[in-house]
Structure 1
């Protein structure tokens, strides 16, 4: 998936799918918390809103965001990780630079190589030769796990107990492109048409309507300061729970 704000999609899924975590175990842990509102933006887990520009690299931003959150959870340090590192260097793992990728492939790269920060490997919004230096890596993960496909309850439980989650969704609608505020509910969304990767950073409720909190990578001028609230109704709207995964440090 590309998730480019302007342009078509080029999607291929050929990565090794790591084991899925069972939904019931997530439910048990989440019940202990009994959290009705979760917002990791207010808890230090989330870096500033970024902008992928004219490069179809949403997959890289969705990946780094979840790793950033887990590093903060473990160390208390919030470090902005390099999307450009993924764009340039993970092609041998089945990614396609600015032409799109699936996040599982990106995670495979990080498991085997690590990641630099944006300070040492800044974003250029273009595909360029890889200049990764392992001596400058600031992020390492041991593995990653998928959540049960289509299970919004398991997704909510994972958000509550684990942290920000890498997700994909159907963004092929003008209503998504021009979203500015409110709780997004596109009736034409197809849960099987996953065209854009984002970071799920929480959930809440307003006026009796539950919603997800999504961090996009289209800059802070899009949506609600770069974020979207999407309807959370247990129906896997826009495929929010169709392809969800998180890193294990």
Structure 2
């Protein structure tokens, strides 16, 4: 009797979730898939490529939920699970290297440059403030907003510098970018035009009514996996990364960077990875860094040889809108 009661509860729950329109339609053409129904109910839409990627994640989460609930009704699991608005997000904080690699197979190219595709704002100057972490974070979000909307909006690094300390950041004294992402997940972010950069720490005056950027979450690239990082760049967009920049060769860079003394475990500087290419038999990463008077107009080409040069793949992550 108890098992029958549980099954009845499950059936009622299923009917409530699907609603009266959840059954078959007189016209097969009018029947929406469960994926389409879920998107409609949550007000979610994607472009064609993102839709395919998100649906794979959603279907895997749906399978996990159904397996768990079947175990619950058989007495093997202590709780039930239910699909919600987070159904297209992966569990945990790490992107799957295998899925990134599979998604990247459609890109048969040795050259990806998001500067040429409109994803990258002008090179900014952090001044004498250790706020590289904020610029690396805003750059990746800017790229994803452009990918979603076609609008390139310069986001406020000063907003992060002033307001995210309770999330574990340290203003002009540095931070890990995941902590900055945590702030944006919970608060949103203003644009540079409404919260301009001062190159110093000041009292927070964030106004949520002026927020132009919101993200759901963020994902790490598998640590040290340069191929997974390349695949993420090809399929996702600009990526937040950290580097060992404690060398005069970095400060005075002028051509493809190949520093033999770089330590992949000494991550001292945050930058934005905006692409990769090849020249003269050397593969390289394209990095957005300081003001336009540094390097190649504010950018750097760093050797991409599978050695995790300067730790470029040791701490890499991207936002999920």
Give the TM-score normalised by the residue count of structure 1: 0.92
Q: d(CA) in 1 for partners of 2:314 and 2:107?
A: 24
Match of 1:41 in 2: 115
Match of 1:163 in 2: 237
Q: Which runs of 5+ in 2 are unaligned?
A: 1-91
Q: Find out whether 1:138 has 2:234 as its counterpart.
A: no
Q: Find out whether 1:206 has 2:283 as its counterpart.
A: no
Q: Find out whether 1:248 has 2:311 as its counterpart.
A: no
SS of equivalent to 2:240: strand
Cα deviation code 1:164-210 (max 9, x no counterpart): 00000000000001112x21000000000000000000000001110
SS of equivalent to 2:103: helix
SS of equivalent to 1:43: coil
- For residue 22 of structure 1, report the CA deviation from its aligned partner: 1.1
Instruction: Give the alignment partner of residue 187 of structure 2, picking from 102, 113, 116.
Output: 113
Q: d(CA) in 1 for partners of 2:152 and 2:186?
A: 22
Divergent runs of 4+, >3 A = none
Match of 2:51 in 1: none
- For residue 160 of structure 1, report the CA deviation from its aligned partner: 0.2
Cα deviation code 1:95-115 (max 9, x no counterpart): 000000000000000000000
After superposition, where does 1:61-100 map in structure 2 within 5 Å? 61-100=135-174
> Taking CA–CA contacts closer than 8 Å with sequence separation of 6 or more, which of the two structures ends up with the larger relative contact order?
1
Q: d(CA) in 2 for partners of 1:236 and 1:119?
A: 36
Contact 1:211–1:232 (CA<8 Å) still a contact in 2? yes
Q: d(CA) in 1 for partners of 2:295 and 2:110?
A: 23
Q: Which runs of 5+ in 1 are unaligned?
A: 1-17
Larger radius of gyration: 2
Match of 1:23 in 2: 97
Larger strand fraction of residues:
1
Larger helix fraction of residues:
2
Q: d(CA) in 2 for partners of 1:152 and 1:160?
A: 12
- For residue 19 of structure 1, report the CA deviation from its aligned partner: 1.2
- RMSD of equivalent CA atoms: 0.6
Instruction: Give the alignment partner of residue 294 of structure 2, picking from 181, 204, 222.
Output: 222
- For residue 35 of structure 1, report the CA deviation from its aligned partner: 2.4
How many residues matched?
230
- For residue 52 of structure 1, report the CA deviation from its aligned partner: 0.3
Give the TM-score normalised by the residue count of structure 2: 0.71
Match of 2:249 in 1: 175
Q: d(CA) in 1 for partners of 2:315 and 2:293?
A: 27
